[in-house]
Structure 1
Amino acid sequence: MSTLVHAASETTGASTRKLLTVLIGLAIMAAIVLAPAPAGLSPAGQRVIAVMTFVVLMWITEAIPYGVSAVALVLLLILALGFSPAGSDPGAILGTAKAIPLALSGFSNGGWLFVAAGLAMAAAITSTGLEKRVAYLILRLVGANTHAIMLGIILTAFALTFFIPSVIARAATLVPIVIGLIEAFGLPRDSQIGKAMLLLAGILPSVTGVGVLTGAAPNPVMVNFLTGAGQPQLGYLDWLIDLFPYTVVFSVGLYVLATRLFKFEFSEMPGGSGYIAARLAELGPMSTAEKRASVIMTLTIVLWATDKIHHVEASAISALCVLLLVMPGVGVTTCNDLYKRIDWNSILLFGAGISMAEMLTRTGGAAWLAKVAFVESGMGGLSVTALAIMIYVVVFFVRFCFTSITSCLTAITPAIIGFLVSLHNPDIPITGIVLGVALIAQCLAIIPVTSAPAMIAYGTGGFTTRDMMRLGLPLAVIMYGLIVLFMFTYWPLVGLWK
């Protein structure tokens, strides 16, 4: 009886803390809205920043479920934009009717389509059991030791980077394989092994992508920004030499953390290699559904890898893949079955988050934040090393405002480059600092909603935001420590740092 009372008391206490967090968040949002508008910031921008502050606090504390925060975010954006001036006339407001399509703009974004399609692809493939077969084949290759399997996941992620140019596409390929590995252990997805493996699957696609010029969409965009500012052109090999070694060392740190922070249920799969061979024999020949899924996924990967030839956007290819997976006579599942398997909260949240990021940019909020952070903060008087570190600290906090890495880097990189160029200091390694920004934006992994691959992995139900923060916070310390280390050791050797 006392146990039940104690449990009820803990539940009540947790509910009270969450309610208090929501009230504090609402108070902060109201204070920002009611504060005098700073110079250079539009009323709409000020209100979107207020909404962003509230929502990011909810994401970090998990005071309200992700799905609820997504609905709240859309409503708050409608109100924030709807009751803001429509243009230069302060007396005329935009109106909620016109604000609705703006607040829902994230749901027509290619990144949102990619995440939705990625979750659908993972759900469809796991319905066939193909991921189990691939997982057992990987286990047969790397062995039954849990640490070896974790290393196998890392090596797989690196290999995929050179064949699949999209970060989200790699996540959509890797996550089903990892699910198969977890199920091969006979454990639930939220087991200690399952959490560690799925976190790797959600974090690695972005990490490996920043090390290869063609590995992530923001990379060539940043090269164009740098070239436009008069910096030397970075080629494929230049980028590889400058950043790939960092991603390798960082992945070693990720491996060490993941294998230390989570207490694995087994050090080796029960039964070892004999068990793996028995499971493969038990699966028997590939089923028709598995063969169809294999053909569809192979076609999809080939199309992803050759996008520079056919020029079909990667998210459109993903939509084609989902269509083939559910098409009668061709596919492997039905729309109704797929509907039950997909985590719709993740899809809803990511779309709402993209809307927030887009509105932050359109209303001038992102530009104002960058100006305050980089220009008006007085950073220009710092030494080169201190200046770089302070920029990286600012990027850390700005990163939480965006669900899309591409959107984040597109919004802040021009401001950073412009600020650095304006200092007229030839000793500042502009390219080196900007590439460091790319590392932070793509390697930072603290909450799922700031990364599409992490949202795909999160949508499987294997880990919570708290689990990701448990790994992501010390990983961020390693990330910054390695950047400082490379600033004084490797980067000066390759000419990236002075």
Structure 2
Amino acid sequence: MTITATPAQQPIGSPAEPTSNRKFAFLLLALALYAAVLLAPTPAGLSASGQVALGLLVLVIVLWISECVSPAASAIILTGMAVVGLIGKPLTEGAAPMNSTQALAQMLGGFSSSAVLLVAGALFLAVALKITGLDRRIALLVMSRIGISPARLVLGAMLVGFVLALFIPSATARVGAVIPIMVGITTALGLPVGSTLGAALLIVTAQACSIFNMGIKTAAAQNLISLSFMNQAFGHDITWGGWFVTALPFTLSMCAVLFLIAVFLLRPIVPEPREAEARLRQQLAELGPVTGKEKRLIAVAVGLLLLWSTEGLHPLDTTTTTQLGIALLLMPKIGVMNWSEAEKLVPWGTVVLFAASISLGTLLSRTGAAGWLANITLGQLGLEAMPLVGIIAALSVFNIVLHLGFASATGLASTLIPIMLAFTQTLSMGPDTAFGIVMIQAMVVSFGFILPTNAPQNMLCYGTGAFTMGQFVKVGLPLTMAGLLLILLFSATIWPLMGVL
């Protein structure tokens, strides 16, 4: 890997300056487009507040795609511009015009969502794993027990991703914990990071992360933001176990496809494995015996998993059980961390972005902007005349293509799911079927397989220098095609039998 100077070391006139200018140019572009949408004549069928909502959508899409500001900063900019735009406009037809206080209250509504509390709680759980070192112990244990061969190592990388996905809702945090293990295994075998083995392990780490994002309700923020919108539209949610069982056939199939692609397309080569096995044993030995904090964390994590998977059989929902678990972890003697050390490691920007995204989605829905946008985009494709599988196919392709321009699945979910919800309400089908269609699209939102820039975990792995963009695409394209075909296959067979559609 090439070592570059830090910003403090770079002289004036270095490449950092054009980067800063580029970011500022994109920020100006985003604000100019927002102003242009607001100043344009209001289209037929769209309210004045709906026009503001569309302007905000254009604003954040430019901010998210260009990454000219941080996610948290984009949320603050979104809230400020929303208040400015909504002053003097009624939220819905017949309502009184809003003042700044009312407009701000509307944009702060997302912070009161239970989904935001769940995300924050789950991020604290991820911090507990990091503080205790349990995430590293789990990864080392799995990789040391699985064995040293190309197929076994690829399988081990996938198993590590699955176990961590059960407890860590941040793809970045999960992959960040696993990358040093995968790089260590590669170098322990005397291979460079950019060898066929290094490329296979790091690509599988990124791609498996996206697969398990779809398979586990609490594994990704985009799942929770999608379900928040769906709960508002349909009046009900899906349990942790319900999501897991629904996604299970798809998740297992995608894992099998990824395994075959990695082994047969990338063809990783492993030399004499004894050194790698010894290194793994050494790293495990350096961790020492399982500590009391780790044991307490394991007990809480297993308890949470049991409560999540049996949601509906007891009176506690996923958010409540998660909060109770975090409360235990923060208690003296009983817990594993205190607030002062935990708060420094929680990515609060993720929480702020999540809440602001919910507010934007709610605004798009309440002002009628999502319905208007669905009508002029998806409504013009004649999907209502298609069979159910054809509708899912068209929506999935639309979703996958749109994702090529997004680096954040949370941003994509905030943009797309309200439009999907509005569109399904125009179709002549029952609410349960409509719920199933949107849930499938909420899974497809995580299809960040094609480019390294399609997901943060991809970029983390790409930053190791273990693989080229061409190698990533070589795996990502067939994986995406297989995923689309599996979505259609299960939409026509298993999911109707399960009552999803």
Q: Give the TM-score of the pair, scaled to structure 1.
A: 0.71
Q: 1:154 to 1:5 in 2, by over 3 A?
A: closer
Q: Please point out which of 203, 208, 213 is paired with 1:206.
A: 213
Instruction: Report how far residue 69 of structure 1 moved.
Output: 1.0
* Aligned equivalent of 1:412: 420
Instruction: Report how far residue 295 of structure 1 moved.
Output: 1.5
CA distance in 1, matches of 2:156, 2:355: 32
Instruction: Report how far residue 45 of structure 1 moved.
Output: 1.6
* Aligned equivalent of 1:182: 179
CA distance in 2, matches of 1:314, 1:434: 19
Q: Specify the code of the residue in structure 2 equivalent to 1:416.
A: T
Q: Please point out which of 73, 78, 91 is paired with 1:73.
A: 78
* Aligned equivalent of 2:41: 36
Q: Specify the code of the residue in structure 2 equivalent to 1:35.
A: A
Give the secondary structure class of the aligned counterpart of 2:312: helix
* Aligned equivalent of 1:231: none
Q: 1:270 to 1:82 in 2, by over 3 A?
A: farther
Instruction: Report how far residue 403 of structure 1 moved.
Output: 4.8
Q: How does 1:448-459 map to 2 (within 5 A)?
A: none
Moved more, 77-86 or 45-54: 77-86
**Structure 1 residues 117-146: Cα deviation after superposition (integer angstroms, max 9, x where no partner):** 122111122111222222221112223567
Stretches of structure 1 lacking an aligned partner (at least 5 in a row): 161-167, 211-215, 227-235, 423-429, 449-453
Q: Specify the code of the residue in structure 2 equivalent to 1:361.
A: S
Instruction: Report how far residue 97 of structure 1 moved.
Output: 0.4
Q: Percent identity at matched positions?
A: 24
Q: Give the TM-score of the pair, scaled to structure 2.
A: 0.71
Q: 1:420 to 1:355 in 2, by over 3 A?
A: same
Q: Specify the code of the residue in structure 1 equivalent to 2:108.
A: L
CA distance in 2, matches of 1:340, 1:300: 24
State yes or no: 1:288 paired with 2:288.
no
Partners of 1:443 and 1:479 within 8 A in 2: no
Q: Please point out which of 354, 359, 371 is paired with 2:358.
A: 354
* Aligned equivalent of 2:282: 278
Partners of 1:402 and 1:408 within 8 A in 2: no
CA RMSD of aligned residues (A): 5.0
Instruction: Report how far residue 327 of structure 1 moved.
Output: 1.0
**Structure 1 residues 13-52: Cα deviation after superposition (integer angstroms, max 9, x where no partner):** 2222222222222222122112222222221121111111
Instruction: Report how far residue 447 of structure 1 moved.
Output: 7.4
**Structure 1 residues 342-380: Cα deviation after superposition (integer angstroms, max 9, x where no partner):** 222222222211221122122222222222223345555
* Aligned equivalent of 2:188: none
Q: 1:402 to 1:40 in 2, by over 3 A?
A: farther
CA distance in 2, matches of 1:403, 1:108: 19
* Aligned equivalent of 2:442: 441
State yes or no: 1:151 paired with 2:155.
yes
State yes or no: 1:99 paired with 2:97.
no
Q: 1:485 to 1:292 in 2, by over 3 A?
A: closer
Q: Specify the code of the residue in structure 2 equivalent to 1:298.
A: V
CA distance in 1, matches of 2:442, 2:398: 11
**Structure 1 residues 254-311: Cα deviation after superposition (integer angstroms, max 9, x where no partner):** 5678899999999999931122222323333221211121122122212212221213
CA distance in 1, matches of 2:57, 2:472: 21
* Aligned equivalent of 1:115: 119
CA distance in 2, matches of 1:169, 1:487: 23
Instruction: Report how far residue 492 of structure 1 moved.
Output: 6.2
CA distance in 1, matches of 2:307, 2:24: 48
**Structure 1 residues 214-244: Cα deviation after superposition (integer angstroms, max 9, x where no partner):** xx7879x99xx99xxxxxxxxx99x97x975
CA distance in 1, matches of 2:83, 2:92: 16
State yes or no: 1:304 paired with 2:308.
yes
CA distance in 1, matches of 2:22, 2:177: 37
Instruction: Report how far residue 389 of structure 1 moved.
Output: 4.5
Instruction: Report how far residue 103 of structure 1 moved.
Output: 0.8
CA distance in 1, matches of 2:472, 2:42: 35
Q: 1:251 to 1:43 in 2, by over 3 A?
A: farther
Give the secondary structure class of the aligned counterpart of 1:341: coil
Q: Please point out which of 47, 55, 63 is paired with 1:50.
A: 55
Partners of 1:48 and 1:356 within 8 A in 2: yes
CA distance in 1, matches of 2:76, 2:106: 14
Partners of 1:146 and 1:267 within 8 A in 2: no
Moved more, 93-102 or 391-400: 391-400
Q: How does 1:332-411 map to 2 (within 5 A)?
A: 332-379=336-383, 389-396=393-400, 403=411
Instruction: Report how far residue 106 of structure 1 moved.
Output: 1.7
Give the secondary structure class of the aligned counterpart of 2:97: coil
Stretches of structure 2 lacking an aligned partner (at least 5 in a row): 185-192, 218-222, 235-240, 450-454
CA distance in 2, matches of 1:94, 1:206: 39
Partners of 2:91 and 2:367 within 8 A in 1: no
Give the secondary structure class of the aligned counterpart of 2:44: coil
* Aligned equivalent of 1:213: none
Q: Specify the code of the residue in structure 2 equivalent to 1:366.
A: A
Q: Specify the code of the residue in structure 1 equivalent to 2:366.
A: R
Moved more, 7-16 or 317-326: 7-16
